[in-house]
């Protein structure tokens, strides 16, 4: 495995360093989507960069992404946990990063997007597939922390059924650098009426127990120019009710989640040779520590249970980039070394011995390279993953894995661009998969898969065709197990994971966007208004066939994965005139099967949100007031079966921005 990695790395560098003719291209294309700026790197026009919405500020990341057609957010009802699924694959195959450093919980392998507020986050970029830069097999979500401009911004939001949100962000310069402090608080009782389509009566029922309260605090400080240091600290605390499906009796279960994170990065650069004739070197060192605490409580009589999880992650990465530029070629080569340690502790009853406590080390050696000419760009990466099996439980043959990928794009002129990408990814089993009590399976193999895509961009129209093949998929299955107690041994049903699955996902993504304007931004950027009329529109559609190919005799064979919609789509229209802002967002989710053999399903769902806002110019300040009508057509919406979303309701708020 090591020799394969070394030989592949040599081939990668030789191919990219080979002589090339051409000129440097422009590197960025920008369109506008639903009041947020969407930017895509030229090598991958399908990437979406989301900035905090102007018409609905102060939302969490799940709320932001759910307003974009074509993105699959799987949420357990109002105020429930939310996860991002890309290209038909489970959420575990979507990599979540903050300033380039992974956020994934080592116990579950996922990140709850409802716990991540957009306050303090400058942008969030969604990219499908592994491509030439890495990421999960389904794709990646990269959050960039920091303010968009210096000053103080305060948000106050009120919604139906007692929802309240407050947020504040302050940023400025001093002490030779720049800093930011952001706070977000939420209180949502979560009781709302809904119509139960599975009941015999048409009378409204009341959803109870879906409450949520959370707050988060983020601070970031950047210092230096030639040697740039960034320090970020993030604390988040959340409690939510777990009411269960609507066909079960009301319970008293709830969940508490706390996250603490500190990360530091240092960048330094220097030239090589006379006047940097041999190129430039850039060094980057990153370190992060994350602590997770997750607690479940159920005080329901006759079924009272509790479970506590504590997890810590230590992360260190060193990168060195060599940049060589000329009039004909731009070459970047980046070797990387990474080390990560995770430790998880699971407990049950108070003051009892831990049910499970494990730790593991992971190390990666990587090489990335990029070559850019006047009309084309080629990117590639190789990574050797090593996870020693002292406590992790991995078999020796599963401790080393090679990951890699490449992407290519070429400008054909007249705003026409072709692109292609392919990659191989590996996902190690989580601590839950291997050591959960009861049911964990320490003999699991890592999931592995290939992905490939081709696309074309023509004057605001982006078309992408993709295919993914996932092997050794981990599936939790029911089984009978003996449980010892003080009166003997009883047989109960538990779930345990096995490597029995293969998934083939293929589909088409289509994005169309455009704008028409007679307006120009006023000279005073604080006003944030346009002097004329400006119209922006976009349409998004995705067709996904993610089918099970595990065993020809299985009832699920060649059928769509559960809860994976065959179609996703939507459209966004934004109109601005004289300080007024009107936004329409339409979303459509196609049929979702809730059984593996496609015998039962959720019907297609469509909804529309309407937002109206007005910007007022104040002395040295800007005030933005807005009102939003969610689910305007009062459609019955379910994130998961028997977990309803709220009916038609209003939200409104005020945002005040000042500048120093």
399/446 Cα distance (integer angstroms) = 9
> 45-54, 151-160, 640-649: which range is least confident on average?
45-54
> In which band, very low, low, confident or very high, does the pLDDT at 609 lie, cut at 50, 70 and 90?
very high
Q: What angle do CA 362, 367, 371 make, to 5 degrees?
A: 150
101-102 and 121-128 strand pairing: unpaired
- For residues 272 and 582, the model is more confident at 582
The whole model's pTM is what? 0.86
Phi, psi of 605 (to 5 degrees): -130, 140
605-618 and 601-602 strand pairing: unpaired
Res 530: pLDDT: 52
CB atoms within 10 A of CB 634: 11
Second-level CATH architecture of 2-658: Beta Barrel (2.40)
Res 303: pLDDT: 60
Average pLDDT over residues 248-273: 86
593/603 Cα distance (integer angstroms) = 9
CB 603 within 8 A of CB 619: no
312/458 Cα distance (integer angstroms) = 46
Which single residue is written with the structure tokens 């990168």? Answer: 319
> 246-255, 404-413, 423-432, 639-648: which range is least confident on average?
246-255
Tokens matching residue 139: 């794709």
- pLDDT, mean over the chain: 82
Tokens matching residue 20: 């090339």
Phi, psi of 68 (to 5 degrees): -110, 120
Q: Which helix (H) or strand (E) holds 38?
A: strand 36-41
> 378-382, 437-441, 471-475: which range is least confident on average?
437-441
Average pLDDT over residues 619-624: 90
Average pLDDT over residues 225-229: 89
507/543 Cα distance (integer angstroms) = 5
Which residues are 557's β-sheet partners? 548
118/420 Cα distance (integer angstroms) = 32
Average pLDDT over residues 129-143: 79
Closest CA to 319 of 367, 359, 272, 390: 367
One DSSP character per residue, 122-168 reads EEEEEEES-TTT---SSEEEEEEES-SSSEEEEEEEEEGGG-EEEEE
CB 572 within 8 A of CB 554: no
Q: Is the pLDDT of residue 18 over 60?
A: no
9/370 Cα distance (integer angstroms) = 13
Q: Is the pLDDT of residue 545 over 60?
A: yes
Tens digits of per-residue pLDDT, 24-80? 333 222 232 333 333 323 334 456 666 555 545 556 788 777 766 568 888 888 888
Tokens matching residue 597: 């053999």
460/511 Cα distance (integer angstroms) = 8
Q: Is the pLDDT of residue 528 over 70?
A: no
150/446 Cα distance (integer angstroms) = 45
Q: Which helix (H) or strand (E) holds 339?
A: strand 330-347
Q: Is the pLDDT of residue 207 over 60?
A: yes
> In which band, very low, low, confident or very high, does the pLDDT at 355 lie, cut at 50, 70 and 90?
confident
Average pLDDT over residues 260-288: 83
* Mean pLDDT comparison of 391-400, 429-438, 582-591, highest-scoring range: 582-591
- For residues 660 and 623, the model is more confident at 623
Query: Residues in the chain, how many?
Result: 660
Tokens matching residue 122: 């400058």
* Mean pLDDT comparison of 137-146, 321-330, 484-493, 527-536, highest-scoring range: 137-146
- For residues 432 and 289, the model is more confident at 289
Q: Is the pLDDT of residue 96 over 50?
A: yes
- For residues 373 and 29, the model is more confident at 373
Res 659: pLDDT: 79
Average pLDDT over residues 206-225: 92
Tens digits of per-residue pLDDT, 485-521? 555 566 666 888 999 889 999 999 998 988 888 855 4
Q: Is the pLDDT of residue 104 over 90?
A: no
Average pLDDT over residues 362-381: 91
Tokens matching residue 419: 């692109």
Please list, in sequence order, all residues whose beta carbon lies within 8 angstroms of the beta carbon of residue 33, skipping any fewer than 6 positions away. Answer: 48, 50, 68, 513, 536, 538, 572
Average pLDDT over residues 252-280: 83
Tokens matching residue 574: 């934004």
Any idea what DSSP says for residue 552?
T
Res 51: pLDDT: 58
- For residues 150 and 595, the model is more confident at 595
Average pLDDT over residues 618-624: 90
Cis status, amide bond into 438, omega within 30 of 0: yes
60/167 Cα distance (integer angstroms) = 11
221/258 Cα distance (integer angstroms) = 23
Tens digits of per-residue pLDDT, 231-260? 999 999 999 999 888 888 777 889 999 999
Domain ranges in the chain? 2-658
Which residues are 427's β-sheet partners? 447
Average pLDDT over residues 429-442: 86
567-577 and 638-640 strand pairing: unpaired
> In which band, very low, low, confident or very high, does the pLDDT at 454 lie, cut at 50, 70 and 90?
very high
CB 452 within 8 A of CB 467: yes
Tokens matching residue 276: 């940097």
């Amino acid at each position: 495995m090591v020799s394969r990695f070394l030989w592949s790395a040599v081939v990668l560098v030789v191919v990219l360093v080979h002589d090339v003719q051409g000129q440097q291209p422009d590197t960025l294309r920008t369109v506008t989507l639903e009041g947020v700026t969407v930017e895509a790197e030229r090598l991958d026009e399908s990437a979406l960069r989301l900035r905090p919405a102007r018409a609905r500020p102060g939302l969490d990341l799940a709320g932001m992404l759910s307003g974009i057609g074509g993105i699959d957010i799987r949420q357990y009802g109002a105020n429930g946990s939310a996860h991002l699924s890309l290209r038909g694959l489970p959420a575990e195959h979507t990599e979540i990063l903050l300033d380039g450093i992974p956020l994934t919980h080592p116990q579950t392998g996922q990140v709850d997007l409802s716990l991540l507020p957009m306050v303090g986050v400058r942008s969030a970029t969604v990219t499908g597939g592994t491509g030439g830069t890495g990421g999960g097999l389904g794709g990646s979500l990269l959050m960039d922390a920091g303010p968009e401009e210096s000053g103080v911004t305060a948000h106050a939001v009120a919604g139906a059924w007692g929802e309240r949100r407050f947020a504040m962000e302050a940023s400025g310069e001093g002490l030779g650098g720049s800093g930011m402090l952001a706070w977000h608080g939420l209180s949502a009782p979560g009781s709302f009426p809904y119509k139960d389509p599975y009941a015999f009566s048409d009378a409204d029922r009341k959803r109870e127990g879906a409450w949520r309260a959370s707050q988060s605090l983020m601070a970031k400080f950047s210092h230096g120019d030639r040697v740039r240091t960034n320090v970020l600290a993030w604390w988040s605390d959340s409690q939510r009710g777990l009411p269960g499906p609507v066909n079960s009796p009301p319970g008293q279960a709830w969940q508490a989640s706390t996250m603490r994170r500190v990360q530091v990065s240092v960048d330094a650069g220097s030239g090589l040779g006379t006047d940097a004739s041999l190129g430039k070197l850039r060094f980057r060192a990153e370190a992060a520590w994350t602590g997770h605490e997750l607690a479940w409580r159920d005080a329901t009589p006759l079924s009272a249970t509790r479970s506590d999880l504590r997890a810590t992650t230590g992360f260190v990465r060193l990168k060195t980039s060599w940049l060589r530029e000329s009039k004909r070629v731009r070459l970047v080569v980046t070797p990387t070394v990474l080390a990560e340690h995770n430790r998880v502790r699971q407990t049950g009853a108070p003051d009892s011995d831990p049910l499970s406590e494990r730790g593991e080390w992971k190390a990666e050696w990587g090489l990335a390279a990029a070559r850019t000419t006047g009309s084309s760009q080629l990117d590639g990466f190789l990574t050797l993953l090593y996870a020693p099996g002292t406590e992790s439980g991995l078999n020796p043959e599963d401790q080393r894995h090679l990951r890699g990928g490449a992407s290519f794009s070429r400008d054909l002129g007249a705003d026409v661009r072709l692109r292609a990408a392919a990659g191989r990814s590996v996902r190690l089993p989580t601590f839950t998969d291997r050591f959960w009590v009861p049911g964990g399976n320490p003999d699991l193999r890592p999931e592995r898969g290939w992905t490939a895509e081709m696309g074309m961009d023509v004057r605001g129209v982006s078309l992408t065709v993709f295919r993914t093949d996932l092997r050794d998929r981990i599936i939790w299955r029911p089984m009978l197990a003996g449980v010892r107690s003080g009166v003997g041994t009883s047989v109960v049903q538990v779930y345990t994971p096995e490597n029995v699955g293969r998934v083939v996902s293929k589909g088409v993504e289509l994005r169309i966007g455009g704008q028409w304007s007679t307006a120009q931004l006023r000279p005073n950027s604080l006003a944030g208004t346009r002097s004329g009329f400006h119209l922006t529109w976009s349409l998004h559609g995705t067709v996904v066939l993610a089918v099970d190919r595990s065993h020809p005799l299985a009832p699920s064979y060649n059928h769509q994965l559960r809860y994976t919609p065959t179609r996703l789509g939507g459209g966004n229209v934004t109109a601005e005139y004289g300080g007024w802002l009107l936004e329409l967002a339409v979303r459509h989710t196609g049929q979702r099967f809730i059984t593996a053999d496609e015998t039962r399903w959720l019907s297609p769902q469509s909804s529309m949100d309407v937002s109206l806002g007005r910007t007022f110019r104040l002395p040295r300040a800007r005030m933005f007031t807005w009102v939003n009508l969610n689910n305007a057509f009062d459609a019955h919406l379910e994130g998961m079966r028997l977990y309803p979303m709220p009916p038609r309701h209003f939200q409104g708020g005020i945002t005040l921005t000042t500048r120093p």
